[in-house]
Amino acid sequence: MRVQVIDNVSRQMARVLCSLIEQSTDLRVAVAFMSHRGLGVIRPSLAAALQAGATVEFLVGLDMRTTEPEALQAVLDLSHGSGEVGLYCYAGLTGVGTYHPKLYLSRMPDIATFIVGSSNLTEGGLKRNVEINVLIEADIRDEAVSDIHAAYNRLKFHPERVIPDGEFIALYAELRDRERATEQSVGRDTSIRALRRTFREKAASLRRPVPTRRDLVGWLELVYDALPDGEFTNESVYRSNRSFGASTPIT
């Protein structure tokens, strides 16, 4: 089993996901938000996978009105051009609970790879935002693979899941526009603007967290213990080289 952390700093979600898509024979994506630009990030890789015979499906949330209608229409158009593309929307009919998963699930003949974390299918989530995702690669017969597919199927066959058509997407677009117009009118309220300004000023004045030994794990903890308090030089690091080398490597 292989495990990898993806945070858009040490590893960018877009690069990892695009590479994964291109290797997939079966790709399943369950996200709360999908944007047109986010879809654009993976579009070339998606086209390559479909050209190679992959099947692809998207489970997308609409209940928070963040998903863009243009993105939905783009996937719907893809589904009309290929029977290997599916689009399913969480409509939020009852208003009970929020649809909020971020799951990217890929299958190859003998291997399943899934990414679970915080990145939605948006340009920010894939490239710029501060995110935490975990990629897990395992044998297709591994129990974790069965569990993640079961979780995905619970999302897919939820009672509020619908298969959209063009009319449904148009209605969603109108509803989204009207609700956003209402939010903008509230945002123009001078008292709310003043409150937001006060909130930002208060946030700027608050203390920030300071790292302590408790925040260090693994080799960072070893370095912390070996080096002197306060400022230190490169020479201090070199003097500690023997103690670093004597530590048992993590495998």
Say if residue 23 is in the same domain as residue 105.
Answer: yes
CA angle 91, 92, 98 (to 5 degrees): 125
Query: Do 125 and 228 have their domain in common?
Result: no
53 lies in the same domain as 151: yes
Specify the CATH number for the domain of residue 49. 3.30.870.10
Q: How far apart are the C-alpha atoms of 52 and 133, rounded to whole Å? A: 27
Our count of domains for the chain comes to 2
Q: Give domain status of residue 178, yes or no.
A: no
CB–CB of 91/160 below 8 Å?
A: yes
Per-residue pLDDT band at 250 (split at 50, 70, 90): very low
Provide the residue range defining the domain that includes 221.
213-244
How would residue 236 be classed by pLDDT, with cut points 50, 70 and 90? Answer: low
Residues 147, 225, single domain; the answer is no
My answer on whether 160 and 218 are in the same domain is no
Lowest mean pLDDT among 97-101, 176-180, 183-187, 209-213: 209-213
Residue 131 lies in a domain: yes
On whether the CB atoms of residues 65 and 95 are closer than 8 A, the answer is: no
User: Residue 37 domain-assigned?
Assistant: yes
**pLDDT per residue as tens digits for the range 147-181:** 999 999 999 999 889 999 999 999 999 988 888 88
- What's the Cα-to-Cα distance from 172 to each of 72, 129, 178, 203, rounded to whole Å? 10, 26, 10, 36
On whether both 135 and 38 belong to a single domain, the answer is yes
**Residue closest to 114 by CA, chosen among 214, 24, 217:** 24
3 state SS of 188:
coil
- pTM (2 d.p.): 0.79
Q: What is the mean pLDDT of residues 2-26?
A: 96
Statement to judge: residues 128 and 228 lie in one domain: no
Both 235 and 126 in a single domain? no
Looking at the structure, do residues 133 and 65 belong to the same domain, yes or no?
yes
